[in-house]
Amino acid sequence: MSVTDNGNERELLETLSPNERKILPFLGKSFDELCKLTSLDEVAVLRALQFLENKGLLRLRMEDKLVVVLDENGKRYVREGLPERRLLDVLTKHGSVAMENAAKLAGLDANELRAAIGALKKKAMVEIKDGKLVLMAGKDEAKKKMLEEIFLEKLPLALDTLEPQDKYALEMLRDRKEIVKVEKRKVISYELTELGKRFAGKKVKLDLIEELTPEMLKTQGWRGKKFRRYDVVSAVPKIYGGKKHFIRQAIEHVRKIWLELGFEEMEGPLITTGFWNFDALFTPQDHPARELQDTFFIKGKVGKLPGARLVAEVKKAHEQGIEGSKGWQYKWQEQEARKIVLRTHTTCLSAMTLAKLREADLPAKFFAIGKTYRNETIDYKHLVEFHQTEGIVVSPDVNFRHLLGYLKIFFEKMGFSKIKFVPHYFPYTEPSVEIHYLVSQFLFLLGVLASSALLWIIMG
């Protein structure tokens, strides 16, 4: 519930979360002080302050500012002491030490010793006499915290809020190795409202139940206790949950379209033989696409070929031709077909599926969507790996009009309604067509080609 200045203070206290109740006694302190005093991390403190703002106790401010923070050595020196402090402690105890022993006694390396001596000489606190380092300041003075030490303990501090003594300390430290640095940070501050001022400094001791657990229901441990009031009005911090990668979203969308059209998914290996990837699709063995420039071959590996009858038919198609074709008129080499490749398209899955089909399986509709690999030059729009999708319909009762119908429905479901079919030549299908998408007065060629990469119609 949201509480105004005239609201019931008891009710307001009963809406506070444990972290808000932790902060309340220290309300008015800086954001960094709240983190230290409550032992809460920055996210927890910020969230609690946002809840208190929703309840009208304060107004939050977040600004980008230059902030002085501890660097790596600075964090260590806050724990162990600055090099000059450790050296002063040794001199306070002994009065003077031999230069060759000073570093060891103070636990410093050579660079730290030089920095410490330089810093103390500027303050006229030490001198080097006869090979010895001598304390010139009084012991009481030597025990006092130096401005640099006080400054480090106060960090982080916004650059524009530094007092004159802080600016002096920063000047002394910023040229020394990795003690302090200035960086851009989001600085969080807040201003108490009149209602907030009334509650600031209050210690709240309330035995409230935060959540009802199964154990409490079993044992009735909730009886006689009071639940924290739910605030159903105030805004809560936004949560930006994880989501699927956009490529995965696109793949699932395409898969859904195929399934809605009644297609069955084809799956197969990413690594296959040249026989299925090329030969079964009537790609000649001297085709440039089979060169290393385009295809990834698995070195030193050969694969198995399917049954002798199918191999013989493919060989005949290449050498002599079948069904009226003249073939490629060359001698087909079995060893070339045995080479192992990363599949360059998913159409090899269509070839494998067709090889397994029986007449009793018809009519049949299949689709594939998966990774393929090409030896591309990598740039802002090309990778060696990409996804491809395709469909295949096998029936004695389908024709070219069915192909256009499937394509039209597919692209409409993809969000492309204004499409145009254009005749085109592709070596694996005849007749063939590609699809253009109309945007205003311009025609754009869609990246998926209808003949082989998207949809085949196998007619009886």
- Residue 409: what pLDDT? 93
Please give the pLDDT value at position 406: 92
- Count CB neighbours of 15 within 10 A: 19
pLDDT tens digit sequence for 272-324: 999 999 999 999 999 888 887 789 999 988 999 999 999 999 999 999 998 88
Residue 207 is predicted with a pLDDT of: 76
Under DSSP, is residue 138 helix (H, G, I), strand (E, B) or coil? coil
The separation between the first and the last C-alpha atoms of the chain, rounded to the nearest angstrom, is: 72
Tokens, residue 437: 């998408």
DSSP lists the bridge partners of residue 424 as 432
Q: How far is residue 48's CA from residue 196's CA, in Å, rounded to a whole number?
A: 14
CB 290 within 8 A of CB 274: yes
398 CB-near residues (< 8 Å, 6+ apart): 363, 457, 458, 459
Q: Which two tokens stand for residue 186?
A: 């989001």
Distance of alpha carbon 189 from alpha carbon 397, whole angstroms:
75
Write out pLDDT tens, residues 310-323: 999 999 999 999 88
Beta-carbon-side half-sphere exposure of residue 416 (alpha carbons within 13 Å): 20
Query: What is the distance between the alpha carbons of residues 97 and 105, in angstroms, rounded to a whole number?
Result: 9
Question: What is the spatial distance between Cα 380 and Cα 145, in angstroms, rounded to a whole number?
Answer: 57
Q: Where do the H-state alpha helices sit in 24-163?
A: 31-38, 42-54, 72-80, 83-94, 99-106, 110-122, 139-143, 147-154
Neighbours of 344 (CB within 10 A): 21
Whether residue 393 contacts residue 361, with contact meaning beta carbons closer than 8 Å, is answered with no
> What integer pLDDT is reported at residue 439 of this predicted model?
57
Instruction: Output the pLDDT for position 142.
Output: 86
* Regions of the chain where pLDDT drops below 50: 1-7, 440-454, 459-460
Distance CA 261, CA 102 (A): 84
- Please count the CA atoms within 13 angstroms of the CA of 380 that sit on its side-chain side: 0
Which residue in this structure is represented by tokens 């004695």? 396
Task: Please list, residue by residue across 88-103, b when 16 or more beta carbons sit within 10 angstroms of its beta carbon and e when fewer do.
Answer: bebbbeeebbeeeebb
Question: pTM for the whole thing?
Answer: 0.51
Q: How far apart are CA 318 and CA 240, in angstroms?
A: 57
Instruction: Identify which of 119, 183, 175 has the alpha carbon closest to the alpha carbon of residue 155.
Output: 183
**Is residue 67 classed as helix, strand or coil in its secondary structure?**
strand
β-pairing, 419-426 vs 385-395, is unpaired
- Contact yes or no for 433/421 (Cβ under 8 A): yes
How many residues does this entry show for the chain? 460
> Rounded to an integer, what distance in angstroms lies between the CA atom of residue 390 and that of residue 370?
9
Distance CA 156, CA 168 (A): 16
Residue 200 vs residues 24, 29, 48, 191, 366: alpha-carbon distances, Å: 6, 10, 14, 12, 69
Q: How far is CA 145 from CA 51, 62, 85, 141, 392, in A?
A: 39, 33, 9, 9, 82
